[in-house]
Every structure is written in structure tokens, then in C-alpha cells.
A and B are shown apart, each in its own frame.
Chain A
Amino acid sequence: MSAAERKTMLLTTPFHSRVEQYCELNDWGLWQGYTTPNSYFDMELEYFAIRSTAGVLDLSPMNKYRILGPDAEAFLNRLVTRDVTKIGVDRVGYAVWCNDGGELMDDGTIFHLAEDDYRLCSYMRADDWLEWNASGFDVTINNESDDIAALAVQGPVSCTILTLIGCEGLNELKPFGIARFDFEGVEMMVSRTGFTGDLGYEVWIDPSKANALWDQLFDKGRDYLIKPIGSHALHVARIEAGFLQANVDFVPAEIAVRPGRTRTPLEMGLDWQVDFNKSLFNGRAALVKQREEGLRYRFVLLDVEGNKPAEHSFIYKNGKQIGIVTSAAWCPTAKSNLAFAQVEMPHGAVGDEFVAEIYYQRELQWTRLMAPCKVIDGPLFNPPRKRQTPAPAH
């Protein structure tokens, strides 16, 4: 096999040698062309590590774009729906972006690394769209996805463990803050961010130090019960925390094929992300129009009766189908059966009651369950430690 051909094989992250070692179940999945574990040793225990001790997720496959130049801020401000000027240096902001039609393309986080220097971290790839967006701006955009190794360290003891590997004073870092530390002579960037809704951090470092970082974390964290976590555990945690995901909860605009399948941020419950005071951003005119003319859909969080996850369920109101579930899981900490759903307007106000059509199988027998469910306001899991500064020790 030639070198060129090898590059088309599944990719591995900088942590792969360690990940492979820890992946006792040999349960692998695919994330953006990278081999990543669905679960390492026990999906449920991994989930509870996030909520009770500390879970480590290899998030190196995330797409990372460096945006540099005098127009970096203006560029981002036209790209995303929120006001980027409000993200100070060494701060991180959540953001979503649309095409001209106001149709949602993706969400992600913007790291304000220094003056005129940002990093956009996204779930979907964005090379093409960012380049088109760069026309007329004095910016350079570098895809640095392969140049940075990243781990999420999430859970109540995450701060304590990171402090032990050299992040002195990390407990003073506010949510969405960025701090920098020395790690074996290279800079290690830590942001208080995550996808689990818990106290947690994301650690960014040069790939050459990936193994050392992993080893230190698991060495110093052993007594604090640190565990690696796979994507299945993360999936439950993110639903519990109320985070939506591109290509799961909505179809990204530019890859949607069928008419009418895309959604706007307003229809995805992201109106808080849309700053109409900005005079221009991609999709503004269309969103202004939609705000005036009314939404077609509403994105809701449902509390579903019973304990059967409402995955891929139809949602009914008075016998008429008015929506579909996009993500669902039994959430062990909230002890709730939660689901995200897109429902047609005017349905979906907090307190609205629907019926979810759930199918589940036990010993070859499929059962159809018509489970009552109710629209609730915000995630059920929202612990104070997520926000507290200084961060609690455990």
C-alpha cells in the first residue's frame, strides 16, 4: 500500500495508543473519519464517571479553525448570529451560524485567544464555508484540526485532577474562561467548557505531548477515580444537559437535499443566540422575515412518561402527528426520560402535553407504547458546580 493510499484509511487521534489500551470493550465507532471508542469498559459506568468523578473524552476529531488577522472579529461577527465582540480575550463563546436563508448550518465554540486571533471549534467541517466567508475580509483561516490534541476532562473532580498535573489556580477560572499552563515545556491551554453540562474543562495541547498528558491525567487522577469515556456516555450526558447536535437534531443547511428539511435557529430554540441588534450576519434578513411571519417549527425538550427512551418517535397531539423526536435517552442522574423533538407550530409551549409513539423490543417482541409527554423548560440537570467559581474540589 502506498503512502497516499494509507492516508485514506481510518485516521487515529494523537491519543490513539492510549485510547486503544484503555478500550477494553473493543467497541469502536467512527467520528469524522477517526477511530474513536463508543465505550471503553462499561457505558453506564463511564456516564457516571462524568457525573460523579471525572471522565476523559478524546475530542481531537473536532474541527478546529484558526482565524487570524485584523478583520478576524468582523469576519466572525458576520459569520455567526451572536455578537462576537462580547467574547473577551481568553474567553470562549458558544455560537451558531446560518446560510443566507437563515437555515442553521452548525454550532460550535469560538475561542478568543488574543487580539485578532480566534479559534472556531465545530462539529461539522467548515473549510469551504469559512473560505467563502473570508472574501472581503483581511483574515487568514487555517484548518488546525490535526495540529492540536484535545481532551475533555469533565466531572466534579475534574478541577482537582487538572490542578494536580500542574494547572495551579485552575479553580479560579470562570466558566467559558481560558487559562494557560506549562506542560513539560509546552503550552497547555485549558478552557472551562464542555458538552456534558457539568463542571468540566477542555485541554488543548501539541500532539507531541498527547501521550504524556494522558498518562499524567490517569496517573494523578487514579485516586480520584478518573475514567475514560466514549461517545455513548457523552450522548446521554449531552441530552441530560440539553445540548443539541448538528446532523442529529437538525439537518445542516448546505447538505440538506429535500426541500423543507432545514431549520432556522429560531425554530431550534436558539433565539437567544440571535442578536438582531447586529446590523448584518448571514441569514439576518431571512430571520427578521421569519420573526415577523412566524415560525414553522419549535424545538422542545420533552419529559416522557415511563422509562423507555423515545428514540425516533412520532409525536402526536389529539391523534394528529405534529412532530418527531430527534434525540432521546433515559437520563440516570436526572432520573428522567428526556427527548428532543421538533414540533409544528403552534405546538410546543412549555407545559404542552403530547403523546410519543415509542417502539421497544423485548425478546423479539415489539411493543408499541403511547407515552404521554410534556414540554419542559430547560434541562433537568443543571448543578451549581457547573457555574461556581472557585470551582469546588469535588
Chain B
Amino acid sequence: MNKYDAIVVGAGHNGLTNGAYLAKAGLKVAVLERNPHIGGATVSRELYKGWYYSNCSYVSSLLRPEITRDLELPRHGLQVVPFGGGATFMQNGDHFGSYSDYGRKYREISRHSKRDANAYERYRADTSRQTRLIRPFLLKTPPDPTSLRLRDLKDLVDFAKPFLNMGEEGLLDTIKFWTTSVGDYLNEYFETDVIKAQHAGSGIIGTALGVYSPGTAYVLLHHYMGDVDGNVGAWGFARGGMGAIANALSKSLQSFGGDIICDADVERIIVKGGRAKGVALKNGDEYHADIVVSNLDPKRTLLDITDERDLPKDVVQKAKNFKIRGSSGKLNIALDGLPTFDGLDPKNPLMSGDLHFSDSLERMERAYDDWKAGTWSKDPYLDMMIPSLTDPTMAPPGKHMMSVFVQYAPPKVEGRDWTDEDKDGFEKSVVDQISKYSPNFRDLILHCETRTPREIEAEVGLTEGNIFQGELTFDQLLFNRPFPGYAQYRMPIKGMYMCSSGTHPGGGVMAAPGANAAREILYDLKRPNTVPGSYADD
């Protein structure tokens, strides 16, 4: 009998987290996965012999330390290793190195502009102020501002307090920060193009907006609010690739007695008498449970696997209007050796960090213009890494694995589906750009997995290939995520929930949506909460 207390659809990191917390509370849980492997976008795959690709998500910072520790992920094999900064290569042969050591970074900025180096201190303080505001809310359910329930009112007051503590100008600065563009924001600090460009990257990654689009300053924050071992803003690699996170989560889930069922492609959620009763698979199997949690994005959850007739009309409309846009692609490359870059010693710690080739805001914005016109960027913004410099398990000794995140790539090319020729053109624009700065790069390529939004959608099931399961603009953040009135993980069908990155606090390998949703489910079931609260911020 396929009868469970709770069924989670989708074995991505949030689904696994959600399942783990429900199982920990004593529920009989099954997590169903369409693919033969778990992980969703948090996977490591051997697509070329001896090389492991984190072929979707590739770095970790946002994964909540409270969850890592509470679910004993280190005991289940997870090891996160921080990496050393990053760099932007410039067209004039120079580079800007964003060293993780603060003093060294300072001296590097000074090399380009003393004023910018000094302004960076102000920048760091101002962004830290914003980060401190948002971090405590990652493991909380957003309050509903339209509600008069005591719980919401109390949460709203808690939410407002730190904002009001900033003083009038501090509060206005915060509102400005949340509504301005990353380009305009950076202009208030820096004078040097490459320094602006280096910092602007975090404002657009995974987002279908340009550096001059209002709202992108917040996206910057989304990339600054994580931490590795308490170093806020630091990023690291999961040893063995991002799949290590999913594997550890699955072991944790199983340690609480939860089941994971692969090759289980859910066709629809079974609803009877207005209540969720389970799911039906494409192969005809059924799994029954009074709690059904979807880890699919809001569009797939509400438009694909839920019968429209079971939903209020406005919810269907809201799901249709949910913004989830393909804006990026990825290249995973097996390399026969370490590529060299002009002006950078192969031993420089920057080599193990995130490398970029866009040295001005204008180039980044032009890359976005291409996307708006329905094509991939001819001069794309790349977030390129060589994880094998940090993690020896990713490639054979002396060989390397390269991960190249590419912005922008449209979900459709000039309105039609991607063709293989398009994919080749996309790949070429990336390889050409890197080759300009690395003379031996092209010759080192042994295998290249190129992923346009088409591939990402087809394999991982992220609509349009959007890595965050929904744009991170304010209209889809906090109590607006996925849409106003449904930000507390409950769906209009009784017993149905959503736990994906399409819910608060959004995308990135954070696991917070999964945990937050579990807390709400347990609340509804009147069971003791198993989800940890936030560490007090320092």
C-alpha cells in the first residue's frame, strides 16, 4: 500500500529538507523524484569519465547553517570548502582581483583607485547593514500584511522593528536600496568601471534584469546574505560537487525513516472534497497521503500537476502571472590541464574563485539588451570557476573541471525553441570570450556539456530554466513570494503545500523554503516543531 502521512514531490534540496523535517517529527514521508537520480538542480553528475559536474548549481553559501547542523549533514558526508575570492579580467590585459583577504582586496582596489578602495569600506558597511536586516528572516515565515491574525501582526511588528531602529535616514536608505538598480547603487560608491562591474555581477546572476534595472540592488543582497562558517558573504564548494548536499540531505531524511522514490513522475495531485489526498504518477501508480508538498516551481505546481478546477480562479491567474524567466545557461567543461590567464599566477588564490570577463557596466547591460531582443548575449557575462582547484574529487589528478555560468540566455530564441545550431552559437560565444583571456583554454577542452534554458528545463524541470524558480524582484519576494496571500507555504487546497525556491526566501541552495514549509505543516498538524530557528546575528 502506497500510503504515507506526507508526500513531497521533487527530490531537490528543498524537497529533501522538507521531507527530512517532517520525518523527524514522526511522519511517514515519501519524496518522489521524476529523474533516476535525486538532487534536482543540486547534483553532481559524471557525464565524462572521471569528471564530475555540478551541472546546475555550482557554489554554496546560502545553505542555512542551522539546517546543516540540525540535520547533521556533515555526519552524512557534507563538507563545504570556501574558495578564495574572484577576479574580473580586463580588455587592456590587466585584471581586478577580488581577494577574500580584506587587506589584500583593499590593496588591489587601491591599485585601480585609492578613492574606490576607501569607498569600498563604506560600501561594505552599507551592504552589511542590509544583510543584517534580511538574514534573521530567512528561517521565518513571512507575515501577511493584509491579515489581522495575531500571529501575523506580531510577526509584522518583529519584521518592522529593525527597520525602524535604523533611524529616518537609515530607513529611507534601505527603501532606496531595495528599489534602485545595482548600477545606480554602485555609482554612489565607485568611479572605476571594472570595480563596478565586478560587484554588479551579483546583482544580475539568475535574474532577467540588467545592471541598470531598478530592483537589482536587492539581488546583490541575495548573493551577499549567505555565509560559510559565519563569514557572511563568503562562498564555497561542496566537496564532491553540489550533489553532496543532496546526498547528505537524503541520508538525513532516510535516517529519520523517510523514503525516496526515484523514477516517480507525478502527473497530478489527487484532490477529493477540496482536500489533497495524494498523487498519481504518469505510469498510473498512486501514492496516498493527507499532506502533499510540492517542491516544483509555482507554475508547475499549480498549472501542471494540479487540476485547474480544484483551484480558485485568481490563484490560477496568479500562477500564470508568476515571473519565472530563463535568463542564464551553463557550460560544464572537462579540461586536460589548468588553463592559464594573462597576468595571473596559476598559484594565485583568485584562480580558485569566480572569474569574469565583463569589465564595465555597459558591457553587462549590452549583454542584457541581447536577451531582451530574444537572443543569447554575444558578449556574455560569465561566472566561471575551476572547482577542481579546490576539490580534487572533481577531476582526475592534473586535470580540471570548469563550470561556466552564462548570462544571458533567453528561454526561447527570437520567439522559437532553441535549436542545436543555436546551442552551438551560444557555446561559441562563451568559449570565444574565455579564449581571449586564456591562450591555452581552447586546446584543453576534452568535453563540454552546454546547457541552455532548454536543457535545464527538460532535465531539472525548472520552468524556462530559471535557476531561482522565480524572479527575485520585490513583487515576488517576502510576503509576495510566490504571490501575495499565499506566501505562507499553504496552497488553497487543504493539505497541499509548496516548499520550493518559488517560496520565501527564494532561490539559491538555501534549504530554507523546505524547512519553513515543514514548520508550517507541523503547525497545521499541531505537532511539535522540528525546524530550528535562526542563529542570532552578530
Contact flag (A, B; Cβ within 8 A): yes
Q: How far is the CB of A230 from chain B (nearest CB, A)?
A: 19
A128 engages B167 (CB within 8 Å): no
Q: Is B282 an interface residue (CB 8 A)?
A: no
Question: Which one of A19-27, A250-258, A270-278, A315-323 contacts B?
Answer: A250-258
Q: Is A30 an interface residue (CB 8 A)?
A: yes
Q: How far is the CB of A135 from chain B (nearest CB, A)?
A: 13
Provide the main secondary structure of the chain B interface.
helix
Q: Which residues of A contact B94 (CB under 8 A)?
A: 4
Please, how many residues of chain A have a CB less than 8 angstroms from a CB on the other chain? 26
- How many Å lie between the Cα of A2 and that of B87 in the bound state? 14
Q: Is B82 an interface residue (CB 8 A)?
A: no
Q: Which of B122, B124, B132, B344 contacts A2 (CB 8 A)?
A: B344
User: Knowing A5-B344, A254-B122 touch, does A131 contact B115 (C-beta < 8 A)?
Assistant: yes
Q: Which residues of A contact B108 (CB under 8 A)?
A: 7-8
Q: Is B166 an interface residue (CB 8 A)?
A: yes
Q: Is B104 an interface residue (CB 8 A)?
A: yes
Q: Which residues of B contact A143 (CB under 8 A)?
A: 114
- How many Å lie between the Cα of A127 and that of B115 in the bound state? 5
User: Knowing A2-B345, A33-B107, A254-B121 touch, does A8 contact B170 (C-beta < 8 A)?
Assistant: no
User: Knowing A7-B111, A254-B125 touch, does A126 contact B103 (C-beta < 8 A)?
Assistant: no
Q: Is B522 an interface residue (CB 8 A)?
A: no
Q: Which residues of A contact B348 (CB under 8 A)?
A: 1, 5
- How many Å lie between the Cα of A258 and that of B125 in the bound state? 9
Q: Which residues of B contact A136 (CB under 8 A)?
A: none
Q: How far is the CB of A36 from chain B (nearest CB, A)?
A: 13
Q: How far is the CB of A102 from chain B (nearest CB, A)?
A: 13
Closest to B130 in A: A257
Q: Is B343 an interface residue (CB 8 A)?
A: yes
Q: Which residues of B contact A260 (CB under 8 A)?
A: 165
- How many Å lie between the Cα of A260 and that of B162 in the bound state? 12
Q: Is A259 an interface residue (CB 8 A)?
A: yes
A8 engages B111 (CB within 8 Å): yes
A128 engages B119 (CB within 8 Å): yes
Q: Which of B103, B121, B132, B345 contacts A5 (CB 8 A)?
A: B345
Q: Which residues of B contact A125 (CB under 8 A)?
A: 114, 117-118, 121
Binary interface profile of B, 167-201, with partner A (CB < 8 Å = 1, else 0)?
Answer: 10110000000000000000000000000000000
A-B contact pairs, 14 of them (CB 8 A): A4-B95, A7-B108, A8-B97, A33-B106, A125-B117, A127-B114, A127-B115, A127-B118, A128-B122, A129-B118, A143-B114, A254-B122, A255-B125, A257-B129
> Could you tell me which B residues sit within 8 Å of A by CB distance?
94-95, 97, 99, 103-104, 106-108, 111, 114-115, 117-119, 121-122, 124-125, 128-129, 132, 165-167, 169-170, 343-345, 348
Q: Which 5 A-B pairs have the closest CB atoms?
A: A127-B118, A128-B119, A128-B118, A127-B115, A125-B118
User: A5-B343, A11-B107, A33-B107 are known contacts; what are 8 more A-B pairs with Cβ within 8 Å?
Assistant: A7-B107, A8-B99, A8-B107, A127-B118, A128-B115, A128-B118, A128-B121, A254-B125
